[in-house]
Amino acid sequence: MDLCGKLKRPLLFIALNLPSAIVGAVARLRIPKLVLLFVLKSFCRIYRVNMDEAEKDLEGYATFNAFFTRNLKAGAREIEGDIVAPVDGLLKSFGKVSEGRFAEVKGKEFSLKGLFEGDEKWRLFQDGFYFNFYLAPGDYHHVHSPLSGKIGGYIYIPGTLFPVNDFWIGLIDGIYFMNERVITLIESKYGSVAVVKVGAFNVGSISVKYAPLKTNLLAKRRVTSVTLNPPYEIGVGERLATFNLGSTVVLLFEDSTIPSSRARFLSSGMKVRYGLRIA
């Protein structure tokens, strides 16, 4: 089903992005403490949030967004190697990119050209390797650098905010191409790496550590490609970005041989934690 063929993009944008922007604003409101605690306890129960590894108890958060973007206790994650998983989440799929296309659930494939909205940097990864991670609502929602290197720039692609679970991916063709995304480009000793953060319904915004980027701006509809001069140096496991409510991360490697040896220890559908060695 091609929903974009039935509904015009402006209508989709209003129907999906406006509620998400409102949710983001509400999540930052200071509400009565007892009400907030009730909401947080209910959320933790429904989504099975592990608060044992959180930096604070529930009483320590002033807003829902502060809780949702919570930090972990020192030492809660071990950085296991030079190339690691960037997030806590479900490893939905992984494998080699073939002629600029990579596989996805329900037999679908996505093109890198569409993912990059035509930006020519997609060609760096056309014969590379990819990992696709899904962050559920109960997961820790910071994104970390998968390796050490220099962030040379980023691409911000405004878009709609469809949910990105399996049901919606199966329902709508090219859902990743319609949703808002931020692509961080890292140069490393292993070649070029892209960390693609895909927005989803109820994602109030995506923030990054290395630039004053604001996303899900209802008036901004233009693709922006930014070069950082000088590049931003980052170490493996350092914080890279934050989802203000959750979504998906696609990790792309230029060199397909880098992750292949470690990938045989991984499996689609397994739960991973950031810091796990993946290559």
Alpha helices in the chain (DSSP H): 9-27, 33-47, 64-68, 112-115, 166-171, 175-178, 257-263
Return the number of other C-beta atoms located less than 10 Å from residue 222's C-beta: 7
Q: Which amino acid is at 70?
A: R
B/e letters for 90-105, b = 16+ CB within 10 Å, e = fewer, are: bbbbbbbbeebebbbb
Cα–Cα dist 149/171, whole Å: 38
- Does residue 247 carry a catalytic annotation? yes
Q: Which of 20, 192, 205, 247 is catalytic?
A: 247
Cis peptide, bond prior to residue 230, ω within 30 of zero: yes
Please calculate the CA angle 83-89-95 and round it to the nearest 5 degrees.
55
- Does residue 144 carry a catalytic annotation? yes
Q: Which of 20, 88, 145, 205 is catalytic?
A: 88
Q: Which of 139, 142, 144, 145 is catalytic?
A: 144
Q: For 239, phi and psi rounded to 5 degrees? A: -65, 135
Per the structure block, which two tokens stand in for 155?
């691409």
Cα–Cα dist 195/193, whole Å: 7
Contact 116, 156 (CB under 8 A): no
- Does residue 142 carry a catalytic annotation? no
Return the active site residues. 88, 144, 247
